[in-house]
Amino acid sequence: MNKSIYLKLAVNNIKKNKTTFFPFGLSCGTMIALFYMLFSISDQASDAIFYGGNTMRTVLGLGLWVCGIFSVLVIFYTNGFLLKRRNKELGLYSVLGMEKKHIGRILFWEIIFTGGISLLGGLLGGLLFSKLMFLVLLNLLELSPSFNFSISVTGIILTSIIFSSIFLVIILYNNLKLKKLNPIELLRGSNVGEREPKAKWLSAILGAICLSMGYYLAVTTENPVQAMSVFFVAVIFVIAGTYLLFMSGSIAMLKILKKNKKYYYHKTHFITVSGMMYRMKQNAVGLANICILSTAVLVVLSSTISLYIGIEDIMRTRFPSDVITNYTYMPEEDEKYNMSYNYDPDLIETTIENHALKYNVEVQDVQGYYSFKTAGSIDNGSFIQEYSEMDSLVYLYFITLKDYKSIAADGDNINELYDNSTYLFSNIEEYSLMESIAIDDYLYKIEKVSKPNNIDEELEKNISKVYNYIYMIVPDFNHLLNIRDAISIMRQETEYDKYGNIPVVYNYNFNIRGNQSDKEEFCSTLRNALHGADIPHVTTVQDIYTSKQDALSIFGSLFFIGIFIGVLFLLATVLIIYYKQISEGYDDRNRFVIMKNVGMSNGEVKKVIKNQILTIFYLPICLAVVHIAFAFDIIREILAVLNLTNIKLFIGCTIGTILFFVAIYGVMYKLTAKSYYKIVNPVN
């Protein structure tokens, strides 16, 4: 046989099956374009010199891996639909005398032709839009590029190699699958799964249990740190439950509807239920995939949008004061090395005030206090320097009464403390109700105060709100050092000894007022000013102004990646729905022809089609919304770890994302219903 005949047959097949090949090629081209754009932007960021570039490049690199892996899955999935749709055609070739190796060559040229055009179109699209998308990213990061965006030759080569390899693997997969089938199986391939399935009640019950377990973990997890690990376990349960319920639970539900004679013996319901029952196994997998992908789109977009829009809330949570400086109190080390530094807070204040005058900014709302912190757990009212589980972890913060009075608005209303007494506040109720707390050999009686709410609010300004904490106000600086020494000894007896002694820190935090550029220059040069004044052991110099760009690099890049991943997931959802409906349209056409021959009108056919497609379309999205509702709390806890505590913002972004997705879903329904109706009812 002439070799050119295979290419001609392949091209002819693509033309005749354009309704299936065109979406396949378009989706491949889109994924190739997205992959190249991400790589090109990441490559440009590595060469660019701007603040936050390294962070942006790291986030984009992670997104590139997700994009690549997901592209492989989507291409293989849609190729499976493409191959299944053409089983009869390939079987006919075999019956007419064509050998499997000849059919394999036709499949080879089909993928080569489709893949080549997809690769070329995808790279051209990526080259065309990569600069635009990079400018969008820089705009999200509030950056002005001072360099030229160039074509990434490495990106073109890498993208070509990766996707060419994917298409070659698909060719091998198609040929291996072809070798395992005989002509009769190929001719019957499109009818596989038409036998009415049995209701597998055990699987349906197991699916309900898995889904319940996933929901339970999502709803009951209250520790933000624990939420990170629990979330993935909950996701596994929900995915397993979703597949089992769609594959077994849906069949069981249809069986129940079939037994309801009043519902079932209605011309619309009869055709819908019997049609879905006829092929439910293959429907169920597709519906479960749509549900999971829809949930992924909603989670990714709502989370990344919330993080980006809530950047100001995140920064204010991280920085209760505009500028935060810390100085380690280390008199023993100074003495050891014959250093004569003077731990004088007045020197810090004077240095910062003089530096502020230099840059024409005003220092306000100063908070100066000594403190130290540690972590462990509470066992029967005693602090121990270890913990067995994450939810038992508690952070202890210590401050003197004198320092607290100087920073608290109602400090004058607080009574003096006597030896071995403390004011204690915690976000865990059982700790707040304790009568005393023991730390090694020290036992502190917990005194009650007249305005705990105001005090608690003031204390929370200087600590994280997303972890379990205990805040203790001790009588004086000597008590602070004694407790620190006692806990340090406890650390020497445990694995915590490797971290060394706990440092006591002098905190000097304040707000600044003035011109934005002056404030940024003041903050960027403050550390050098402190060192120039010979202030000892300057540990931390952080500010909300220069740190915002780093946060924007993280959350802006995450938002950008979220858009890309959301587009990929949405593309996969559209492809699954489209191929499923087109495939089922051809399978259903003969049934609807029979129905029309026995007297069903065009209006009744449309009504049946609308009823069936509505059921298939909106069942996955409805369950996806339920998944999001149950996952809301655990996602909120995870976002809290990232310092996003604005619940109203997250609710608004989640609802907005759902409405946007449902609107797109509605457009997909209209287009699919129209195509499906043309197939099953070609003559009006």
Give the DSSP per-residue string, 426-485.
ESSHHHHT-SEEEETTEEEEEE--S-HHHHHHHHHTTS-SSS-EEEEEESSHHHHHHHHH
Give residue 654's pLDDT.
92
Confidence of residue 183 (pLDDT cuts 50, 70, 90): low
The pLDDT score that the predictor gives to residue 185 is 57
Count, in order, helices (H) and strands (E) of the chain.
25, 10
How many CB atoms are located within 10 Å of the residue 641 CB?
15
Average pLDDT, the chain: 78
Say what the pLDDT of residue 378 is.
85
**pLDDT tens digits, residue range 526-564?**
999 998 888 888 888 999 888 877 788 788 888 888 888
pLDDT tens digits for 502-511?
888 889 999 9
**Cα separation, 313 vs 324, whole angstroms:** 17
Residue 684: count of CB within 10 angstroms of its CB: 6
CB neighbourhood size of 141 (10 A): 24
State pTM to two decimals.
Answer: 0.73
147, pLDDT greater than 60: no
323, β-bridge pairs: 510, 543
Phi/psi of residue 369, nearest 5 degrees: -165, 150
The greatest distance separating any two alpha carbons of the chain, rounded to the nearest whole angstrom, comes to 105
Specify the pLDDT at position 266.
Answer: 66
pLDDT attached to residue 432: 79
Instruction: State yes or no: pLDDT of 274 exceeds 70.
Output: no
| Residues 242-255 pLDDT 10s | 888 887 766 667 77
φ, ψ of residue 380 to 5 degrees: the values are 55, 45
User: What pLDDT, on the 0 to 100 scale, is given for residue 193?
Assistant: 46
Count the neighbouring beta carbons within 10 Å of the beta carbon of residue 223.
18
Q: Give the residue with greater pLDDT, 629 vs 69.
A: 629
**pLDDT for 584 beyond 80:** no
pLDDT-derived band at 453 (thresholds 50, 70, 90) equals: very low
Q: DSSP alpha helices (H): ranges in 539-646?
A: 544-597, 602-641
Q: Which residue has the higher pLDDT, 627 or 224?
A: 627
Percent of the chain past pLDDT 90, that is, above it, reads 10
Cα 434 to Cα 452: distance, rounded to the nearest angstrom: 15
Q: Which of 57, 60, 49 is nearest to 146 (CA)?
A: 49
Region of residue 331 (phi > 0: left; psi between -120 and 50: alpha; otherwise: beta)? alpha
Residue 408 pLDDT more than 80?
A: no
CA dist 251 to 3, 243, 380, 486, Å? 48, 12, 53, 65
Q: What percent of the chain has pLDDT over 70?
A: 73
Neighbouring C-alpha atoms within 13 Å toward the C-beta of 435 = 0
Tens digits of residue pLDDT in 33-67: 888 888 888 777 655 555 555 666 777 777 788 77
Predicted pLDDT of residue 333: 62
In this predicted structure, which of 206-210, 262-266, 368-372, 619-623 has the lowest mean pLDDT?
262-266
